[in-house]
Amino acid sequence: MSEHPALAFDRVSMEFPGVKALTDVSFYVRAGSVHALMGENGAGKSTLLKILSGAYRPTSGAVVIDGQPRQFASTVGALAAGVAVIYQELHLVPEMTVAENLFLGHLPNRLGFVDRRALAAAARRQLELIGEAIDPDTKLGRLSLAQRQMVEIAKALTRGARIIAFDEPTSSLSDREVRRLFTIIRDLKARGCTILYVSHRMEEIFALCDRLTVLRDGRHVETAALATLTRDGVVQRMVGRELADIYNYAPRPRGEGGLAVDGLFGPGLAEPCSFTVHAGEIVGFFGLVGAGRTELLRLLFGATPRRAGRVTLFDRDLHPASPREAIEAGIVLCPEDRKKEGIVPVRSVLENINLSARRRRSHGGVLIDETWENANARQRIDQLRVRTPSAQQLIRNLSGGNQQKVILGRWLSETVRVILLDEPTRGIDIGAKSEIYAIIQQLARDGVCVLLVSSELPEVLGVSDRIAVMRQGRIAAMVDRADATEERLLKLALPLETASAS
């Protein structure tokens, strides 16, 4: 083993205007190990990864590689030093082939032209190293998300990366794809690579990692071997307090009326769907990837035209042909991909909160009521405990959990009767999850019909009054909270041939 750790952060600090993202963070990572990095949203994890990748230069301190302090001027410099970061949003070109993506920037050439034969052969060798049988001539855009992630890993290895950081790599993967990724990571560890692994999923951390570093409010809290820690202990270190019941569930009386869906059918569904959600009720929708949950919400929201079916809200027929019409009727959606569909990244927190409701508060539909907008933004920021230096901060600079709170704040500025929540806590730390669950429970207490889609069984079980299990584009069963177990829901969600085989 080397005299020096493979990777170390030495008193790293990072300041932005009005924000100190990191303060004197120091810890090291051993060669041939998988080292977890955990903390609440806004704790500084992403900033630290961007410093490691060369995207940011620290205000003070240094990244130390094999005992040598390094200051990377760019991601190219980091790659040259053997460092690669695999981000949640992959940095690949969908229009190019797998082989071209693998060797982009250093394509093999002959007489000034790309040597296609050599490129394909080199790409095939590289993919075989990680156990992937992907055709290197396939356009990257045709691959699944999991396959693209494997291409990103192979791309890092073509550059000779020995230090690889993963940022929430499993947030959009199925269980089978997660197992495949874990096999790759364990193989990289066996080859002596140094892995830094960022995730909010506690079960992954304890299954995969050797050591753990916790950050809180931009500061180093503790680094320790996983074998010496408990899950509750990790949570307490992350949030600075004990979380007795993160789901904040409490039974509540069911209101009269609500949402009634009869024979709803459209793209993504295999057969018409029928169900009800009473006022003040939370109905969770669980299923495997591709079960049709997101498609069902989009049909309800008017984002996808329905082909058949009747939707009534408190006995009033609804035919939303667009999200605008759905919002006018009191139906709102927090989308699965908040960065692409939920926020306007180049606008402020204030503007993102007021984006929908300002139509009712502007003068003559043209002049913005700045007094109301400032007051409303401040109310929602305080109400939802959004961590932001000011309402004028660009929303893209906020953590994922705080971006999600801003989207919720937008809908709390409206008159909401039905809220559609599609993976509302994906990629969010446990402390922020608890706060969002509290918001969901309060919405239900206020008489709102809540539909919650989640791929996390503990979340569905912890939050819902009833659970609709979807399988292959249809609702397979509706299960009361008292009768729901992880085993039962998972068995209902499995494809019929798989379930019968088991």
The CA-based angle 474-173-162, given to 5 degrees, is 170
Instruction: Output the six-digit token pair for 181.
Output: 């990724």
pLDDT score, position 481: 95
pLDDT score, position 158: 81
pLDDT score, position 242: 61
Which parts of the chain have pLDDT scores under 70? 1-3, 18, 88-90, 172, 241-244, 363-366, 496-502
Q: Which of 450, 485, 480, 482 is nearest to 467 (CA)?
A: 480
- Overall pTM surpassing 0.75 (yes/no): no
pLDDT score, position 243: 57
Rounded to whole angstroms, how far apart are CA atoms 436 and 343?
17
User: What element of type H or E holds 177?
Assistant: helix 175-190
Domains in the chain, ordered, with CATH? 7-239 (3.40.50.300), 258-501 (3.40.50.300)
pLDDT score, position 58: 94
pLDDT score, position 366: 62
Helix axes 145-158, 175-190, angle to 10 degrees: 10
Rounded to whole angstroms, how far apart are CA atoms 331 and 316?
13
Rounded to whole angstroms, how far apart are CA atoms 282 and 440?
8
Rounded to whole angstroms, how far apart are CA atoms 24 and 5?
19
pLDDT score, position 179: 85
The rounded Cα 296 to chain-centroid distance in angstroms is: 20
Phi, psi of 265 (to 5 degrees): -145, 145
Evaluate whether 62 touches 4 at the Cβ level (below 8 Å). no
- DSSP category for residue 277: E
Locate tokens 């085989």: which residue? 501
Evaluate whether 272 touches 263 at the Cβ level (below 8 Å). yes
Residues in a beta bridge with 470: 475
Compute how many other C-beta atoms are within 10 angstroms of the C-beta atom of residue 305: 12
Phi, psi of 357 (to 5 degrees): -70, -15
Sequence-ordered alpha helix ranges (H) in 291-391: 293-301, 323-328, 349-354, 358-361, 370-384
The model's pLDDT over 392-447, given as tens digits with 9 standing for 90+, comes to 999 988 887 889 899 999 999 999 999 999 998 887 777 778 888 999 999 999 99
Q: Which of 349, 467, 346 is nearest to 408 (CA)?
A: 349
pLDDT score, position 500: 47
